[in-house]
Amino acid sequence: MADLLALSGQWGARKEDRTALAPLLPFPAVLEDSWLRRGIQRDAFLRELLQGLHQRRLIPLLAMLPRGWRLAPAALPEKLRGLGSLLEEGLVSPTLLAALADDLQHLLPIGDPDNASDATALSRWTARHVVNPENGSRQALPQSLQQWQELAKQSAQEPTPWPPTKAGSTSAANLGSLGAGLTWHNQGLTHLQPAHCRQANRLLAQVFNALGANRLPAAAVEPFQFEGVASTAALMALLRGRGWSARARVRSSVASFGLGASAAAEDGTWHQIPLALPYRTGLLRHGQEIESLLPHCCLELELQPPEAAEPVLLQYYQGTEGLNGWAAINDLDRPWQNDRGNGTVAYPGPAFEAEHLDLALDLCDLMAAVHNSTAAAGQLRFGGYGALGFCIDSTALLEQALTGRSTLFPLTLGGIWRERLAQQLERLLNTGLSTANTNHSDEAVERYRDALQRLPQDLSLHGEAALRAEARLIRSLPTHSPFVCVRALNGEAAAETSLSDPL
């Protein structure tokens, strides 16, 4: 199996790559070098490497590890040994993702003592507060634009740099270094937006969620108002009237599932280690199965206030945070993964503006109501993440409803879960789900019903379906990437040398 996390020797040829900001090292080479420098057995190094990682991050990391670095199942926590057996030699595939998503929900519901939680997808979506992960503070949602701006500025303190100085500082050893300078953080990188903008994104994302939750049957939640309006459609009309511009686009980039990594250089600076999850696509090209990197997908909403330098950046998707809905786009500046201008973020379809955007927002409200109430009623783990679709599926379902087709791959939303979503839609409609938010609301219901029926499923593909799926695969890839396997698929290069030698 080829090294699917190999990096191209051509990365850095464009100024947009910004390699001076983030010099890159390949993950397999860093693992090899770090293990040798630690002077311990490879299995012991791996156990040390993975120690303390939360299960939600440990599972994708198991799939990211190169072959030869996979832990034997016996070395894993007991509940992950079955998954470890599946991944010990092979790659994730759409079929495996779908099977795992379905079985985990049946075997490990929220009621399991090891997964105790007071929060459901519905309670997260309808919440009237946000928690700032950078300082742990909890804030009630603002109810006006002025209060929104004031609350965002109150949280404008940047987090303490980690580590506070160079990698060779005396405190670095106490800050989670995993041996030989390898650590699960992107040291030395800053966020794409300053702290007050990130908190503004966070607050407004939950305002959108709370307004969308007003569509639920009246007994389910008390109406929330912002600037005196009680729906996302009315808020969008108000913002436009005050000079805001808005557009939404389907967005796709290489997923790292919240994981970052970097390694200390001898001069005390940090090199960045691009992470991604390789997978088998189930598609053939020239007699060989195509292997690629899983994408992160969402509907990106860009709101530009008048006379403001920074836009508000939100994303709608089914997230690992445990809900279907809006969240902030508060990324670290990773030029190899999330630069909206250099091609590492793909926008495979058209922008949605004006009335088309209003329809998109209406669909987001409707889908969140259906998906979150389905997850809460079924006590699904992680708010139904996986069973009710991964981020790719929720975005593709929205895109299918808006345009009649999808540009994303792979899609794994299973038939039984589509049926459950369709049944929950009818229950909500019969018990008072509001469909009067906009002129498009009845249309949104019909489009959503149709999308559940027509959205492709990429578990077993051949013939014309395989050709269409390969076209979606290519469209959902970034047009510019440091990963050799992506560059070979997106047309950047037919064959290139890789940075695969040990450090």
DSSP-derived 3-state class of residue 435: coil
Contact predicate 435/445, CB 8 Å: yes
DSSP state of 39: T
| pLDDT for residue 272 | 96
List pLDDT tens digits, range 138-156.
889 999 999 999 999 986 5
| pLDDT for residue 502 | 39
| pLDDT for residue 164 | 38
Model confidence band, residue 168 (pLDDT cutoffs 50, 70, 90)? very low
List pLDDT tens digits, range 213-256.
999 987 556 799 999 999 999 999 999 999 999 999 999 999 99
| pLDDT for residue 9 | 92
Residue 109 vs residue 14, higher pLDDT: 14
| pLDDT for residue 161 | 46
| pLDDT for residue 290 | 96
| pLDDT for residue 458 | 96
Q: Indicate whether 206 pLDDT > 90.
A: yes
- pLDDT above 90 coverage of the chain, percent: 62
| pLDDT for residue 34 | 79
By mean pLDDT, which of 98-112, 129-143, 435-449, 468-482 is the weakest? 98-112
Is this model's pTM higher than 0.85 or not? Answer: yes
Helices (H) and strands (E) in the chain, counts: 15, 12
| pLDDT for residue 104 | 65
Nearest to 348 by CA among 253, 254, 275: 253
DSSP-derived 3-state class of residue 458: coil
Quickly count: other Cβ atoms within 10 Å of residue 92's Cβ: 20
β-sheet bridge partners, residue 129 = 140
Residue 363 vs residue 80, higher pLDDT: 363
Which whole number is the average pLDDT over 73-100?
A: 72
Q: Indicate whether 116 pLDDT > 50.
A: no
| pLDDT for residue 98 | 87
Nearest to 215 by CA among 425, 366, 372: 366
Nearest to 206 by CA among 293, 129, 133: 129
List pLDDT tens digits, range 336-375.
999 999 999 999 999 999 999 999 999 999 999 999 999 9
Task: Decide the pairing of beta strands 245-254 and 295-304.
Answer: antiparallel
- For 288, residues 6+ apart whose C-beta sits below 8 A from its C-beta are none
List pLDDT tens digits, range 390-422.
999 999 999 999 999 999 999 999 999 999 999
Residue 87 vs residue 45, higher pLDDT: 45
DSSP-derived 3-state class of residue 409: coil
Q: Output the CA angle 52-190-204, nearest 5 degrees.
A: 90
Q: Which amino acid is present at 302? A: E
- For 388, residues 6+ apart whose C-beta sits below 8 A from its C-beta are 318, 324, 371, 374, 375, 380, 394, 413, 417, 421
Q: Write phi, then psi, for 337 (nearest 5 degrees).
A: -135, -40
By mean pLDDT, which of 80-94, 425-439, 471-485 is the weakest? 80-94
List pLDDT tens digits, range 427-468.
999 998 876 555 556 899 999 999 999 999 999 999 999 999
| pLDDT for residue 107 | 52
> CA torsion sign, 14 to 18 to 20 to 23?
negative
| pLDDT for residue 54 | 61
Q: What is the chain's alpha carbon radius of gyration, rounded to the nearest angstrom?
A: 23
Mean model confidence pLDDT for the chain: 85
| pLDDT for residue 289 | 95
